[in-house]
A and B are shown apart, each in its own frame.
Chain A
Amino acid sequence: MSAAVTVRALRRRYGERVVIDGLDLRIETGEFVAMLGESGCGKTTLLRALAGLDPVDGGRIDGPAQPSVVFQEHRLLPWAPLWQNVALGIETPEAKLQAVAALREVGLAGREGDWPRNLSGGQSQRVALARALVREPRLLLLDEPFAALDALTRIKMHGLIKDLVARHRPGVLLVTHDVDEAIAIADRILVMRAGRIAASYDVAAETEAGPAPLRGKLLGELGVTLHHRAA
């Protein structure tokens, strides 16, 4: 297997506070990795460093120069029709065709001329996914992309993202708060604590007897204890 990205001894500080403290990480091509962690544990900082949006204070990142990113907000340009949003930054003559095809892939066929304001939250996030995947990225970074969606839309999006990743096979890093989401779509789940990766779980191996035990373990890692009533 080839690595989509390799991170070694990554460090990032904000003033005195060390947010990422010697973090190592390797994501394989086609591997779907979810990163869980409490707020402020540095997981979004890590994602932004991988995206090249924030500088780092030490360590190495070996990966594509231009990973694709989907943010929590869709971040579509309100003044551009959907296809132009998807094709943003692609300057080949086929840009529009590629954009239309990518929109079809996320279930928005025929909507390429529409304005972003005519879309629901879930549809907007589909366009953001199309914008990320039309570039055929080697690394796809997802920063809580489904957190603002309603529960039903979120489940549909989980199915969609799994299909898309299976087809395009980028390495994926999904940053999320949602344990169930991580179990539902990831191959491997990492827990980040105090600027490092504190635990790693292989989802297929841990969920052979159903998702409940892994769920309990992960919640435990995140400091949530489940109170079971004595039977």
Chain B
Amino acid sequence: MAVELSTKVPQAVSGALHEAPRKADRRRWSERELIVLSWLAPLLFALAWEALCRFGGVNPQVMPAPSAVLATAWTLVADGSLFVHLGYSLLRAATGFLIGGGIGFGLGLIVGFSRLAEALLDRSIQMIRAIPFLALLPLVIVWFGVDEAGKIFLVSLGVLFPIYINTVLGIRQVDPKLLEVAKVTGLSLRGRIAKIILPGAMPSILTGVRYALAVAWLALVIAETIATTKGIGFLAMDAREFLQTNVIVLTIVIYAAIGVIADGIARALERRLLAWHPNYAKEEGR
């Protein structure tokens, strides 16, 4: 059938658009080369840092060499303590994320669907949101003491708002034209939510998740400076007491690494859940 042929057209067109900017480059860089190149700068930076520490006379008390940090990491891995601390931190982050994310998503659904719920809840939620949640730290200590509960509360609070706001926004932005289709196809309320509203809101919700992951991590760093004996934050505080700069730097590197990994997970989630979305599907090649 002649019409079948036209299937190829959009792909060919998008392919051509994709290629166009490349022609400006003198040389065509392959994807793999580009990935290698993107790692080159951080690698050079680490090498320069190492050289400066060894031959530039930088006081290791101020800035330890990468090799010294790696050696510290190895010691902590060998005696197993790094995993214990890491485990505690991840568990706090995950618990806080699930609680705060769950509440934020739930509230977001209610407010997103109901103008009445919006009138009742949204203003209060926005007022609480206006508080920099880290400013609640002293109050959190009074309320929950210095136990796990306070730390998890702080993480939950930080996570709640980005998820809430993006869920409401996502639901409200669902194309009303598609809701008309639901009406003329006799779709049930349940079907409407499951097949149109939630998938339509998903890009926005996942943006919230990605942002919330970063906030969770930030909240954790602060929460773990409260009196504690386990966790990456404790490791840093303890090292400060004894001026173990290499351990301090190590904890910073760990925080950074986990932030990158969390973002990677969020991206993977986007690619999987938004496979239908042209913007996200294209990222697969990157």
Interface residues in chain A, defined as those with a beta carbon under 8 Å from any beta carbon in chain B: 51-53, 66-69, 71, 73, 75, 77-80, 84, 88-89, 91, 107, 115-120, 122-123, 126, 131, 135, 153, 156
Among A67, A120, A123, point to the contact of B184 (Cβ < 8 A).
Answer: A67
Number of interface residues of B (CB under 8 A): 29
Interface residues of B (CB under 8 A from A): 1, 3-4, 6-7, 9-11, 177-178, 180-188, 191, 195-196, 199-200, 202, 274, 276-278
Query: B195, A51: Cβ atoms under 8 Å?
Result: no
In chain B, what residue has the closest Cβ to A87? B185
A78 and B191: CB pair below 8 A?
no
Known: A80-B195, A89-B182, A117-B278. A75 touches B177 (CB 8 A): yes
Q: CA of A67 to CA of B1 in the docked complex: distance in angstroms?
A: 30
* Known interface pairs A66-B186, A77-B196, A79-B277; A120-B7 also in contact (CB < 8 Å): yes
**In the assembled complex, which residues on chain B have CB atoms less than 8 Å from the CB atom of A71?**
177, 180-181
Closest B-chain residue to A134, C-beta based?
A: B185
In the complex, chain A residues whose CB is within 8 Å of the CB of B200: 79
Known: A53-B184, A88-B181. 18 other contacts (CB 8 A): A51-B184, A77-B181, A77-B195, A77-B196, A79-B199, A79-B274, A79-B277, A80-B195, A88-B191, A89-B187, A107-B3, A117-B276, A118-B11, A119-B7, A120-B3, A120-B9, A120-B10, A122-B3
Pair B7/A123 contact, Cβ less than 8 Å: yes
Contact B7 A75 (CB under 8 A): no
Summarize B's interface: helix, strand, loop or mixed.
Answer: helix
Complex CA distance for A77 and B1, rounded to whole angstroms: 25
Once the chains bind, are A123 and B186 in contact (CB under 8 Å)?
Answer: no
Q: A122 with B177: in contact, given A77-B195, A79-B277, A89-B185 (CB under 8 Å)?
A: no
State the Cβ distance, B284 to closest chain A Cβ, in Å: 14
CB of A68, distance to nearest CB on chain B (Å)? 7
Task: Say whether A77 contacts B177, CB under 8 Å.
Answer: no
A78 touches B277 (CB 8 A): yes
Chain B hits for A88, CB < 8 A: 181-182, 185, 187, 191, 195
